[in-house]
């Protein structure tokens, strides 16, 4: 092989190898880190995997927020008005967290059927609900209408 061709071969091999590794890594990282969204109804129907990081969204049920007396533990119910699920969390809730407000919680479904949340998100803009919450509510509504 002449030096010119050898050089080109090296470069191409290098590029292909690097890009291949990068794609493999990206797919692996994606498979580990995508968080699927479930509505309370889907969880009630047993569709959500246990002990895996998932996202759950819905409205915070009125009057369901309970604070622990001497820690920052808190639990509340999230509902799509068809089914309700209890979310447990420890820490500070976002400024826009309110009863009756749409939220998304990121956490794991435990054996007792509650969600142990790592993170609770409320949208910064009060005007619109998180879109996946809205869709979950629409689905629940459609299911109710179809009954």
Partner 1 sequence: MIPEIGHYSLVLALAVTTLLAVIPLAGAWINDGLWMRMGRPLAYAQFLLLAISFGFLTAAFLMDDFSVRYVANNSNSLLPWYYKFSAVWGGHEGSLLLWIMILGGWTAAVAAFSKSLPEPMVARVLSVMGIVGVGFLSFILLTSNPFLRYLPNAPQDGADLNPLLQDIGLIMHPPMLYMGYVGFSVAFAFALAALMGGKLDAAWARWSRPWTTVAWVFLTLGIALGSWWAYYELGWGGWWFWDPVENASFMPWLAGTALMHSLAATEKRGVFKTWTVLLAIFAFSLSLLGTFLVRSGVLTSVHAFASDPERGRFVLMLLALTIGGSLLLYALRAPVVKSHIRYTERSREVFLLINNILLLVATVTVLGGTLFPLIAEAFGKEVSVGAPYFNTMFSFIVPVLVIAMGIGLFSHWKDTRPGTYGRRILPLAIAGTAGGIGIPLIYGEWEWSAGLGSFIAIWLATAQLWDVWEKSSGKSGVVAGFKRLSRSYKGMATAHLGLAVTILGAAIVSSYTEERDVRVDTGTQVEMAGLTFVFDGIQELKGPNYVADQGIFHVLDEGKEIAVLHPDKRRYLATGQVMTEAAIDWGILRDVYVALGEPLEGTTWAARIQYKPLVRFLWLGGLLMAIGGTLAILDRRYRIRVKANKARTSVGESDAGGTQPAKA
Partner 2 sequence: MNRRVLLFIPFVIFVGLFFLFNWGMDQDPTKLELARKDQPVPAFVLPDLHDPSKTLNQEIFKGKVSLLNVWATWCPTCRAEHPYLVRIHETGQVQMVGLDYKDEREAALKWLNDLGNPYDISLSDQEGRFGLDLGVYGAPETYVIDKQGIVRYRHVGAVDDKVWKEILLPMVRKYQKEGV
Q: What are the φ/ψ torsions at residue 11 (nearest 5 degrees)?
A: -60, -45
* Residue of 86, 114, 116, 135 that binds partner 1 (CB under 8 A): 135
Q: Candidates 44-52, 80-88, 109-117, 123-131 — which segment interacts with partner 1 by CB under 8 A?
A: 123-131
Q: Which residues contact 48 (CB under 8 A, 6 or more apart)?
A: 36, 38, 42, 54, 56, 109
Eight-class DSSP state of 92: P
| 51 and 110 Cβ atoms separated by less than 8 Å | yes
Using rule CB under 8 A, residue 96 touches partner 1 = yes
Burial 21-36 (b: 16+ CB within 10 A, else e): eeeeeeeeeeeeeeee
Rounded to a whole number of angstroms, the minimum distance from the CB of residue 123 to partner 1 is 7
Write the binding mask 69 to 88 for partner 1: x where contact by CB under 8 A, - elsewhere. Answer: -xxx----------------
Rounded to a whole number of angstroms, the minimum distance from the CB of residue 84 to partner 1 is 20
Torsion angle in degrees (nearest 10) through CA of 103, 94, 31, 45: -30
Residues within the interface to partner 1 (CB under 8 A) = 4, 7, 10-11, 14-15, 18-19, 22, 25-26, 29-30, 32-37, 53, 55, 67, 70-72, 90-93, 95-96, 106, 123-128, 130-132, 135
Residues within the interface to partner 2 (CB under 8 A) = 59, 62, 81, 100-101, 126-129, 131, 134-135, 137-138, 141-142
């Amino acid at each position: 092989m002449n030096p010119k061709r050898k050089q080109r071969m090296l470069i191409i091999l290098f590029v292909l190898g690097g890009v291949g590794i990068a794609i493999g890594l990206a797919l692996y990282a994606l498979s580990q880190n995508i968080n699927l969204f479930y509505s309370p109804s889907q969880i009630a129907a047993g569709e959500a995997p246990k002990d895996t990081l998932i996202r759950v969204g819905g409205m915070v049920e009125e009057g369901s927020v309970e604070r622990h007396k001497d820690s920052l533990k808190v639990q509340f119910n999230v509902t799509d008005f068809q089914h309700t699920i209890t979310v447990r969390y420890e820490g500070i809730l976002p400024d826009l967290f309110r009863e009756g407000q749409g939220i998304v919680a990121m956490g794991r479904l435990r054996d007792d059927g509650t969600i142990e949340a790592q993170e609770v998100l409320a949208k910064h803009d009060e005007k619109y609900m998180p879109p996946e919450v809205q869709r979950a509510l629409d689905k629940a509504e459609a299911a109710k209408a179809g009954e």
